[in-house]
Amino acid sequence: MEFYAHTKKDMPESGWQSLYDHLNNVANLSKDFASPYGLGEEAYFAGLFHDFGKYHKLFQDKLYSNNNFKDHSSQGANYLIERGYYATPVIFAISAHHIGFSGINKITRENFKRKEDLSQLIKDCNNKIKDIKIPENNKAYSHYDDKFIASCIIDSDWTDTANFYDNLPYIKNNFKEYVEKWISIIDNKINSYKINSDLNKKRHDFYVECSKMGDASNETMFNLCGDTGIGKTNSSISFALRNAKRQCKDGIIFVLPYMTITEQTAEELRMLFAYNNILEHHTNSDISDSNWKEYRHFSSNWDFPIIVTTSAQFFNSLFSNKPSSIRKIHNIANKVVILDEVQTIPSNLILPTIDIIKYYNKKFKTNFVFCSATQPDFGISSIDIIKNPENYFIKKSNIILNKDSMTIDEITEKLTSNESAFCIVNTKKIAYKIFENLKHKNHNHNIYYMTTGLCPYHRSEMIKEIKRKISNNENVILVCTQLIEAGVDLSFKFGMRMLAPLDSIIQAQGRVNREAKFNYENCDLLVFKLKDKFDNYYPTPLYGALANISEKYLDNINAKTLQEYYQEASNISDKGKKIIESLEKKEFENLDRKGITPYQFIDSETLSVVVPYNDEAKELIKKIKNNEKLSMKEGRKCNKYSVNIYENSSNNKIKISNNIDNILYWNSSYDLIFGTD
């Protein structure tokens, strides 16, 4: 009797994929993925038994009659356990390749305790599978090994299945073929710039020093400390290309904290290395119809030369329990990862974040570059790419703490007395009050309001408009929450920042005189506390605690005081310790919250709601209201028109509706100034 893994509609059995072929294809490809890291045998056996349950008569009957037989994963794990094979990466990968890690602990523990009667299943099995010799395995494995093997299996399984259905064979990315060409391209770009100012001279020298280190170093952990506006994007990618070439890496992953700078960086790299060599992966990626199928494939497995993604996408995937997220993580191995603005790693997640970075560096040959103008010391053995970063710093502005609390009227007066100014506050309500106060004052400024109540597409359009007006020497005031703190290419002559965590204040300073066009003595970031009464001055208690710590360091910010601040901040929460404890015990169900691991870069109980910002968004909402099935491309388009709404807001609940697929949309007007606020 022939056993089958996959069928095609209107195709005779002779064209179906045999189960034996599928299992061996997955086993061999998984072994290829994992062998460079000493896990080839484990990956092979996980692949060989991942769909073992498809030998079951009920599954084979399902191929003809479409019965409700569902579980074809656990039998492979049971088969190995019965024969004394307990390697957790194999057992977990088999059990989790469809359901993920959230639910496998209970199943797996029961499997260890019981002896399932598999006699009928064995009778149904192909002899080539039944007679396989199970090797002894007494190794100890890390929880990160478990996820890595699962990633290899999931990717191999989905790849082989796609090859059967869509004729898409596995092809390794071509990074190594192009790396020398790309180094020449970026060198030519830098050499074409005129060195006509002190800042441009420093940018050029910074780039050269980074490039030389990339050509020479055999190290694998690096710090890149550079001033805001010094050109860290070009310099870090030049370093990464050279480091990857020297150490035979398979690609580069550029990780950034915010959507706006992720989009900005991806566009810069596309202009250098061509569109089809850059994978921009985040929830708002705007993909053309002609590229959609290819994008869907590579954003699922990350087997791509250069990837630009968000910190949330990168780290949430590493800690995720979901198969669709786990699939890509084995392709983080043997790459150079640039972690930009590393100071934005949430203080309560530093411990597990650094733990997994160290493990991937040592076990999976991943190089890491920590980039920041305010470099924290994470206790990692790493070398400095720039030996004397202070040589490249240009004083562009001052941080001044206003000792007395300020009223909204006083804040308004300060802002309107400057040509271009911003005010960053901690909550939407405070931003709204300051904006409304500005509107009713006599002044000659274009006033803008920006919070997460505006959808991402709206915000990106606003940033372009603000930048244009500033370049035309028009008077501009921006009132916002923390959205512009890191990497956004905006430069104001004056700024105000409500008391916040120290790294946020320093990043806000980077928006003041960013291009060094003015004398720093005339450019200030004024840090203030608010005198007016509000229910909350901070978005979370943790944020408030960090803000209060930062106040005592503002008078003298230097490398020593920064390290003291980060050390004090890391001791506030024990969340990171609890995540590591659960991982080490392999208690994956303890890491779940509503199906999501508690390791979340953006940690808030919110709902994603599509808003009617423009005609395209309105057309999407029309389809949602009519319960029309959205394509995956349309679903991704919804992301750039979506706003995260707090679940516990009764005022917002009445404005949110959903369709039969539970897609949420804003059932009210969308204000072109305030969005959903």
List, for residues 385-415, the tens digit of each pLDDT value.
Answer: 999 998 998 889 999 999 899 999 999 999 9
Instruction: From 548, 570, 592, give the residue that closes a domain.
Output: 570
Q: How far is the C-alpha of 93 from the C-alpha of 97, rounded, in Å?
A: 6
Residue among 158, 146, 441 at smallest CA distance from 320 = 146
Q: How many structural domains are present in the chain?
A: 4
Domain presence at residue 672: no
Domain presence at residue 577: no
pLDDT at 581 over 90: no
Same domain, 529 and 633: no
Domain presence at residue 677: no
List, for residues 232-268, the tens digit of each pLDDT value.
Answer: 999 999 999 999 999 999 999 999 988 778 888 998 9
Domain presence at residue 581: no
3-state helix, strand, coil in the chain (%, to 5): 50, 15, 35
Give the domain range for residue 245: 175-392
Phi/psi at 435 (5° precision): -60, -45
Q: How far is the C-alpha of 452 from the C-alpha of 177, rounded, in Å?
A: 42
For strand 336-339 and strand 252-256, is the pairing parallel, antiparallel, or unpaired? parallel
In Å, how far are 447, 583, 584, 588 from 355, measured between CA atoms?
44, 11, 11, 17
Q: Which of 18-32, 114-128, 371-385, 644-658 has the lowest mean pLDDT?
A: 114-128
Q: Which of 361-375, 416-430, 582-596 has the lowest mean pLDDT?
A: 582-596
In this predicted structure, what is the pLDDT of residue 374?
A: 75
Q: How far is the C-alpha of 467 from the C-alpha of 49, rounded, in Å?
A: 57
Same domain, 345 and 402: no
Q: How far is the C-alpha of 518 from the C-alpha of 398, rounded, in Å?
A: 12
What string of H, E and C letters represents the secondary structure of 373-395? CCCCCCCCCCEECCCCHHHHCCC
In Å, how far are 316, 385, 588 from 311, measured between CA atoms?
8, 22, 22
Burial class (CB in 10 A: 0-12, 13-18, 19+), 205: middle
Structure tokens at 303: 């087997």
Q: How far is the C-alpha of 78 from the C-alpha of 85, rounded, in Å?
A: 10
- CATH assignment of the domain containing 183: 3.40.50.300
Going through 578-626 in order, the beta strands assigned E by DSSP cover 606-610
Domain presence at residue 557: yes
Residue 64: which H helix or E strand, with range? helix 57-65
* Cα 421–chain centre separation: 31
Same domain, 388 and 409: no
Same domain, 272 and 210: yes
Q: Which of 84-93, 507-516, 612-621 has the lowest mean pLDDT?
A: 84-93
Same domain, 278 and 259: yes
Percent of the chain with pLDDT over 70: 88
Percent of the chain with pLDDT over 90: 51
Same domain, 388 and 402: no
Q: How far is the C-alpha of 223 from the C-alpha of 236, rounded, in Å?
A: 10
Same domain, 541 and 611: no
547 three-state secondary structure:
helix
Instruction: From 135, 166, 197, give the residue that closes a domain.
Output: 166
Whether the CB-CB separation of 19 and 55 falls below 8 Å is answered with yes
Same domain, 309 and 187: yes
**In terms of pLDDT, which residue wins out, 380 or 650?**
380
Residue 244: which H helix or E strand, with range? helix 232-246
Edge-to-edge strand list for the sheet holding 606-610: 642-646, 606-610, 664-666, 656-658
List, for residues 92-142, the tens digit of each pLDDT value.
Answer: 899 888 888 865 655 554 544 444 445 555 555 555 555 566 666 667 889
What string of H, E and C letters represents the secondary structure of 6-23? ECCCCCCHHHCEEHHHHH
Which residue type, as a one-letter code, is found at position 200?
A: N
Helix axes 88-99, 143-166, angle to 10 degrees: 50
Average pLDDT over the chain, rounded to an integer: 86
Same domain, 418 and 551: yes
pLDDT at 290 over 70: no
pTM: 0.84
List, for residues 609-654, the tens digit of each pLDDT value.
Answer: 999 999 999 999 999 988 888 887 787 788 889 998 876 655 565 5
Instruction: From 392, 419, 452, give the residue that closes a domain.
Output: 392
Same domain, 252 and 372: yes
Same domain, 377 and 443: no
Q: How far is the C-alpha of 129 from the C-alpha of 3, rounded, in Å?
A: 12
Same domain, 546 and 443: yes
For strand 221-225 and strand 367-372, is the pairing parallel, antiparallel, or unpaired? parallel
Domain presence at residue 591: no
Structure tokens at 304: 């791509």
CB atoms within 10 A of CB 180: 12
Domain presence at residue 589: no
User: Is residue 523 very low, low, confident or very high in pLDDT (cuts 50, 70, 90)?
Assistant: very high
Domain presence at residue 230: yes
